[in-house]
Amino acid sequence: MSLSRRAKTAWVILGGVVVAVAIAGVAVLFAFRDVATTLDEEDVGLTVITGGGEPGDYGLYVYATTGYESTDALAGARHDYPAETYLTIQPGGCGTLVRWQPLGQRYEEWNYCPDGRMAGWDEFREWFRIGNTDRWECPEPVEVQGEPGASWVVECRKAASEEAGAATQVNKFEVVGYEPLVVGEQEVVTLHVRVTTVGTGGSASTGRQDTWYLVGTPLPVRRVIVHDSITDSRIGAVQYHEEAEIRLTSLRPGG
């Protein structure tokens, strides 16, 4: 084979390798492309059990929403929350499950017992098409509401997962007091409870969640969330940030 023919063959092979690498790179980028899916009422409400239609009964509730979550994993990504999100109150768990789901890739679900205490909660997040659920359990069901001026501290834990190690979260509850809020055109009395969190273990985190509950129910009339964490993962330390505010638009389930 002549030198020129060998050179031409080498360039053809090299070109094929470059194309193959480029195709593989595109495939990897597509496989790990981050998505954020907005849900509508039908998506959330397909399996919702409805109660008597009174505020705090089983059903689906609509919230005006602002906020987002973000991560610096891989090239970084951000999920902006839609202007309208949904919360469901359903039978299950210790007695009642309350789930807020702003996106198909994000939800948080609280497990309440019949006496109003909370047994634990789940946090689901999906980034780059990889989902993870953190299941937090408290040593015994804890109070989440109380008399104005009261405060208490609770330590809850989550087991290790493939994505992260075991972790502990210390939650300080403070009952700020009764405050009026307007829902639609109706003024209601709410109980303002602030929870400040510090997490250690597989995830080092800090956060603050202010919730204005409809008195006597687990129904949030308003909630403000700020959360930051650094989690050890298979790709190194990953930073996460979330900030959001939700406001109930109607006291009755179904809106």
Residue 81 near residue 103, CB atoms below 8 Å: yes
Domain-by-domain residue ranges, the chain? 1-31, 37-248
Amino acid at 129: R
pTM: 0.83
pLDDT the model gives residue 22: 35
Distance of CA 101 to the CA centre of its chain: 7
Q: Considering the chain, what is the average pLDDT of its residues?
A: 86
Take residue 240 and report the two structure tokens written for it. Answer: 């996460």
Residue with token string 């084979």 = 1
Confidence band of 161 (pLDDT split at 50, 70, 90): low
3-state secondary structure of 7: helix
Q: Give the largest Cα separation in the chain, rounded.
A: 92
User: With the C-alpha atoms ordered 57, 250, 197, 72, is the resulting torsion angle positive or negative?
Assistant: positive
CA nearest neighbour of 82 among 58, 62, 99, 97 = 62
Take residue 45 and report the two structure tokens written for it. Answer: 């409400």
Mean pLDDT of the 144-170 span? 88
Residue 159 near residue 203, CB atoms below 8 Å: no
pLDDT the model gives residue 157: 94
CA nearest neighbour of 156 among 181, 124, 121, 130 = 121
pLDDT the model gives residue 92: 95
Scanning 124-249, the segments in alpha helix (DSSP H) are none
pLDDT digits (tens, 9 = 90+) for 36-92: 898 877 777 556 888 889 999 999 999 999 999 999 988 899 999 999 999 999 999
Residue 239 near residue 255, CB atoms below 8 Å: no
Distance set, CA 98 to CA 57, 80, 90, 183, 201 (Å)? 11, 22, 6, 19, 26
Residue 182 near residue 23, CB atoms below 8 Å: no
Helices and strands (DSSP H and E) totals, the chain = 2, 13
Scanning the chain, the segments in alpha helix (DSSP H) are 3-31, 41-45
pLDDT digits (tens, 9 = 90+) for 107-121: 999 999 999 999 999
pLDDT the model gives residue 105: 92
Q: Is the pLDDT at 253 greater than 80, yes or no? A: yes
Confidence band of 143 (pLDDT split at 50, 70, 90): very high
Residue 244 near residue 207, CB atoms below 8 Å: no
Q: How many CB atoms lie within 10 A of CB 46?
A: 7
